[in-house]
Structure 1
Amino acid sequence: MHVDHIIRVHSLNPPSMEHHVKLYAHLMRGPSPLSRAQREMIAVTVSGVNRCFY
């Protein structure tokens, strides 16, 4: 079974997952001069460059 590395990392310290999710939510949905669509496009581009396809 394939498990993404980020999940493996958080499995070592489960409370860290909650902080990760809160950070993501703030970055993607919090106040910003960028629209939600622009932030999503940046996230997709960075994931592609990093070869991170989850």
Structure 2
Amino acid sequence: MTLKDTGHSDDAWAFPRLANNSRVVQSLRCVGDTAGDAAGTRTGCSAVLHDLTITF
């Protein structure tokens, strides 16, 4: 996925679970640019993951 940031606000996406273990990522939030001279202190992405059960 390529992100083109067009504003100074957070960009967020949600990925609801359609079936058990069908998606790992629940939500994604990215900041590509800020209004000031942050020089990378607020830029980046963070993800929240769905609960995942692994059976061996």
TM interval, short-chain normalised: under 0.3
Greater strand content? 2
Structure 2 length-normalised TM? 0.19
TM-score (norm 1): 0.19
